[in-house]
Structure 1
Amino acid sequence: MPRYQPPKGYYTSTQVKEILNISGAMIANYVEKGKIRHVVPPGRKHGYYLKKDVDALARELETFFKLEEETEAVYFTTAQAADIPGCIKLNRELFTTSTSESDALLAEKWTSWIQKNPQVVYVLKRGEDVVGIATILPLKPGSKKFEKVLMADTSILLGDVDISANDIEEYTPGNKVQLYLAEIGIKPSLHKDLRSKYGAKLISNFMDAIVDLGKRGVIVERIVSVGATRSGVRLLQHFGFSEIIFPREDTRVFVIDMKKSGAPITQAYREAYQNFAGQK
């Protein structure tokens, strides 16, 4: 029997299988979900598939698989001295500040922090490029210097702020600390879908890093952060942070009490710490 040619603007099922590299069952699945429109002419058992839907899905799948490959290529690690210039550059993309130190002075300060405690700055890297960052400053609970810095209208990461290596606490068993989550962000210039995937990877690894402190016997009393943007506030609330009253009206400060909070990250941390304490 002669094989019917599809009308203009349509594909046959065989063509769709070849273009998308999928089975007939997957075609039916996409039709059911409304991703591909299927038309059956009168008197025919088999229909045709709208070309523009199939082509759009092909582009979407190609982008998805490229993003999956990109996501596999990135890795989460502690920042090394060689990464610090890239970290500062990314900070300048993420934040706007009216006052800022030079890159050289910032690099010197940041490097002194990670020399004191290598787990202060975490990065998400693609090759040698820093595409994501999470900076967590471990400080003494009740630090007056930290309270003073928080009250000032100066960027803790980019400004002329008096937080030296001496103020950074080390992660040793039994040491009590409060953590300042100074930032967590992804390179803004990346494709939005890639930012989303990288962001999920960064957040997941950040949470693991907090839980790991419990495994090591570090006593985290609270985590403090500032919500500078709407997305930042939503992220903090998602983590389980609660907003507190703060003297500066233009600054929104959020806190997690690691003993009292019911947030998943605090529960996982407490369980990890209890396991550590039980092994002593």
Structure 2
Amino acid sequence: MNDTKVFYSAKEAQHRLGINANRFNYLVRTGRIKRVVPPGQKLGVYPVVDVDKLATLVNTTLELYDPTVVQVEIATTEDIIDVVSIGATVFHGSTSSVARVANWQRKCPEAIHVLKTGDDEVVGYAILLAMPEERILEILGRKISIDDVTIDDIYDFTPGQPLCIYVREIAVLPSSNKGVESFWGGTLITGIANFLASLGNRKVNIERLYALASTKHGRRASQVMGFDRMSIIPDPNRPNLVAFMLDMQKSTVTFVKQYRENYQKSLADSEPRTTIRMLDEAELQLLESRKGKKKESKKQL
């Protein structure tokens, strides 16, 4: 005898899907869940195969969109190959070499951030290079390439001199599911924004961010982060290549304001403070008494 379950009751199907009765009834009405009424019965039942397929789809989608499963973190040395591989795919081979990216990471360990899934797969990355502003402007104006920048031109994110940061690349692995790809991109941008805001807590003085966008997604990402389009024309023959700048001292974008608040607070917390204690009533009376005794002594003299 075959005891394999063929149908779920409504209650069993709701439990399998993890949804309430209202949501379940809506899915039935709209045809997402098939309802079967056996002969001689009034209550409907629901095919196990259909419900299980939908449950699998729901769980997979929740995992993909769960921020605890996809996270932004500082890249490790082992991540560099994946970073360059994704860059080569997104930018059609026009990306920096493994050796060059590894050198940037050695000079500034926080320069490269990766977006990882729960399986430790790298699905996106961002490269943030602090360097002299004149070098960045030369790159934006296409007077030099990133390959002309020496390792001595790369700075670490340390307190001290004002910094300008060149957002070298932000990219996510292309996916057939555009919703997932969009979610990855949004998560990566949010992670980078949070990192930049956190630098204020360390008294890292960031003046401006710069970016050179060569793709539609890159231009969109720059705009989402609050960058302004610059008047610089990087290449007259490539109208889609656009230079952007974000003023970290003036922008009203949320993460920039948070950065400034963090920076000002960190400066205030590091300043020496003078503590002024108010005298209580007994101490004031004692002080007045001593003054009175001094006056009496002077009169006697």
- Place the TM-score, normalised by the shorter chain, in its bin: 0.7 to 0.9
Matched, 1:173 2:170: no
Relative to 1, partners in 2 of residues 1:18 and 1:78: Cα closer, same or farther, differing over 3 Å? closer
Structure-2 separation of matches of 1:96 and 1:172: 34
- Corresponding position: 1:115 with 2:125: no
- For structure 1, the residue ranges without an aligned partner over 5 or more in a row are 1-9
1:139 aligns with 2:131: yes
* Structure 1 residue matching 2:110: 3-state secondary structure: coil
Which shows bigger deviation, 247-256 or 173-182? 247-256
2-side partners of 1:211 and 1:34: how far apart? 47
The Cα of 1:224 is off from its aligned counterpart by 0.7
Change (3 A) 1:56 1:154: farther
- Root-mean-square deviation over aligned CA pairs: 3.5
In structure 2, runs of 5+ residues without a counterpart are 1-6, 271-301
1:181 counterpart SS class: strand
Superposed displacement of residue 50, structure 1: 9.9
Match of 1:196 in 2: 182
The equivalences for 1:66-145 within 5 A come to 66-67=63-64, 72-97=68-93, 106-126=97-117, 127=119, 129-141=121-133, 143=134, 145=135
The one-letter code matched in structure 1 to 2:109 is P
Match of 2:252 among 253, 262, 265: 262
In 2, the alpha carbon distance for the partners of 1:195 and 1:31 equals 30
1:171 to partner: Cα distance: 1.6
Sequence identity percentage: 30
Q: Relative to 1, partners in 2 of residues 1:74 and 1:11: Cα closer, same or farther, differing over 3 Å?
A: closer
SS in 2 for 1:171: coil
Bigger Rg, which one? 2
State which of 225, 228, 231 in structure 1 corresponds to 2:214: 228
Distance, in Å, in 2 between the alignment partners of 1:82 and 1:240 is 32
Separation in 1, partners of 2:226, 2:211: 12
Residues 1:215 and 2:205 are matched in the alignment: no
**Equivalent residues of 1:113, 1:164 under 8 A apart:** no
Alignment check: 8 A CA contact 1:12 1:49 kept: yes
